Amino acid sequence: MDVSTHLNAELTQAQAAAILELIQREWPQPDWDREAAVQGLLHPGEADDDASRYRREARRYVIWDGDRALAQAETFARTIRWESGVEKTVLALAGVVTDPNERGRGYGAAVVRAAFGRVDAGEFPAALFQTNHPGFYEKLGCRKVANRFADHRDRGGSNTSPWWNDFVLVYPADADWPHGPIDLNGPAY
C-alpha cells in the first residue's frame, strides 16, 4: 500500500479538500466551511506565531484511491519543555483517521508507521500525541506516559491538562522520557 507524503502548501485544492472531508466525516464540525478550511490548509499565513509555523511545516501521510483520501496522519515539530528546563523538539502526531468504510485494512497503521519514520530516521528523538485508542498505538511500538502536561501560554491560567483525549503516548516505547511535568509550549493537538 502506497503512502504519499505531502507538505500542506504542496497539496492541490482537490487533495486538501479530500483530506479535510475525511477529517470532517470523523470529527464533524457543525459550522464547517469547506472552502475556508481548504484555504486555511493551503495558505496558513505568514505570521511567525507557532500555529502558523506548525501549519506551514506540517506533513501529511495519505493513502489515496484516485482522488479520494482513505487514511491520513499529520506531523509537525513541537518544542516542549521538561520540568528540568530542558527543551526538546518532538514529532507531534495528529489527525490520524481512516475512512470508516475502509477500516480493518491496515491503512491507519500504514500512515502512522510512515509518520513515525521521521523518528526512526533520527529527525526527532520521539513522537508525542494523544488518543482514546492506546492499544492500536501500543501495537505499533508506543507506550502511555503519565506526565502532568500544561501549556504555559494558556492565559486562562488553567491547571487542567491541555489534552482532550484520555491517553498520551510516546513513540518509541523505549524513548528517553522524563517522569515530571511537561510544558507543551502551546495548545494540544
For 96, 101, 104, 128, the CA distances from 3, given in Å and listed in that order, are 13, 18, 16, 21
Q: What is the pTM of this model?
A: 0.90
Each residue's pLDDT tens digit, 105-137: 999 999 999 999 999 999 999 999 999 999 999
Cis status of the peptide bond prior to 100, with omega within 30 of 0:
no
> Taking the C-alpha atoms of 94, 99, 107 and 64 in order, what is their torsion angle to the nearest 10 degrees?
-100
Nearest-angstrom CA–CA distance, 46 and 103: 37
Burial 82-104 (b: 16+ CB within 10 A, else e): beeeeebebbbbbbbbbbeebee
Each residue's pLDDT tens digit, 26-74: 999 999 898 888 888 887 666 556 656 666 789 999 999 999 999 999 9
